[in-house]
Structure 1
Amino acid sequence: MLTQSTTEKLYNQDFCLWIETTVQQLELKQFETIDWENLIEEIKDLSGSQKRALESLLSRLLEHLLKIGYWKSEYQHNYNHWKGEIRAFRKQIKKLLKVSPSLRPYLEDIFEECYQDAREIVADLTALSLDTFPMSPIASLEQVLDENWLPKTCTGL
């Protein structure tokens, strides 16, 4: 039989096995052998992981919206690729919000910061001036997530 000390060591030696062992201990209600400290830390990290994923997806979505709207020299060559990436990021964000609706306020909180990050990244990638991109977000969060919305500037090219 495993002891709490043994499962604590297992955490550092084989994370996957530690998870499987911890799940089995929980299912069997062997609470005295559970590595509670690491289990609590891992549960806390799950929320942070979802937040980091959401932030990354939103930033990438905004980057592609800026590319499709402002990178005129690459527009014709990359339009379909960018449009596909935009759709994929939107779907991934919606799926994440579906399983964790409580993340919606977090998405709203990080929207402006993600937009500013996207501006800087796209300016670096495209060699366009940062001033090419508006200081304020090019759309509301709702529009950015709307599967039928694309920046107006891309339609006028």
Structure 2
Amino acid sequence: MVAQLTENQTNLYDTDYNLWVLETVKKLENRDVDSLDWDNLIEEVLDLSKRDKKKIESLLIKLIEHLLILQYWQSERDRNKGHWEREILSFQQQILRELEDSPSLNNYLNTKFPDCYQKGRKLASKHSQLSLNTFPEKPIAPLEQILDENWLP
């Protein structure tokens, strides 16, 4: 009986994810822990953390890209400065909101900062069509400064 219930839950997870989520929520609300699809539930909860990490990394990469093009793409600066500054502020605010909701992501972001900087640097080069060497290999500022809404290069 228990094996059949577990198989049905797994099948539901594979065949109708949305229904699986709704059924899982009902079981959680009813404290029906015996009939939960634990394996898939654990996988989904862990995936929430992965999604948050990917999201915050992506935002940081885009922030760095825009900070670099603002500072180094002189031929387009006058025409695009306002747009780039708006994007920078938007990325900063989104990152700060994520960190406010999940302060433990701060440590994660600090460890990923060097890699995110290099990815942002490559994007800035592609975006601007400027040589990658135009942009410094080392970060233009510490992470804390890059996240400061009152700072621009």
- Which band: TM-score by shorter chain? over 0.9
Distance 1:43 1:126 in 2: 39
Name the amino acid aligned to 2:118.
Q
SS in 2 for 1:54: helix
Could you list the per-position Cα deviations for residues 75-128 of structure 1 after superposition, in whole angstroms to 9, with x for gaps in the alignment? 111111111111110111011001110010111101111111111111122111
Deviation at 1:26, TM superposition (A): 1.1
Structure 2: where are the runs of 5+ without partners? none
SS in 2 for 1:101: coil
Distance 2:145 2:34 in 1: 51
Deviation at 1:138, TM superposition (A): 0.4
Distance 2:32 2:144 in 1: 47
Candidates 71, 74, 85, aligned match of 1:72: 74
SS in 1 for 2:130: coil
Deviation at 1:130, TM superposition (A): 1.1
2:28 is equivalent to residue 26 of structure 1:
yes
Identity of aligned residues (%): 48
Distance 2:31 2:119 in 1: 46
Name the amino acid aligned to 1:50.
D
Distance 2:29 2:79 in 1: 54
TM-score by length of 1: 0.91
Asked if 2 retains the 8 angstrom alpha-carbon contact of 1:4 and 1:32, the reply is: no
Distance 1:7 1:99 in 2: 31
* Structure 2 counterpart of 1:114: 116
Structure 1: where are the runs of 5+ without partners? 152-157
Distance 1:24 1:5 in 2: 18
Could you list the per-position Cα deviations for residues 29-73 of structure 1 after superposition, in whole angstroms to 9, with x for gaps in the alignment? 222221111001001111111110110000000000001111111
Name the amino acid aligned to 2:114.
E
* Structure 2 counterpart of 1:47: 49
* Structure 2 counterpart of 1:17: 19
* Structure 2 counterpart of 1:155: none
Could you list the per-position Cα deviations for residues 105-156 of structure 1 after superposition, in whole angstroms to 9, with x for gaps in the alignment? 11110111111111111112211111111111001111100001001xxxxx
Name the amino acid aligned to 1:91.
Q
SS in 1 for 2:104: helix
Deviation at 1:4, TM superposition (A): 3.0
Instruction: State the Cα RMSD in Å.
Output: 1.3
Name the amino acid aligned to 1:40.
I
Name the amino acid aligned to 1:43.
V
The ranges of structure 1 where at least 4 consecutive aligned residues each deviate by more than 6 angstroms after the TM superposition are none
Candidates 42, 55, 58, aligned match of 1:56: 58
* Structure 2 counterpart of 1:129: 131
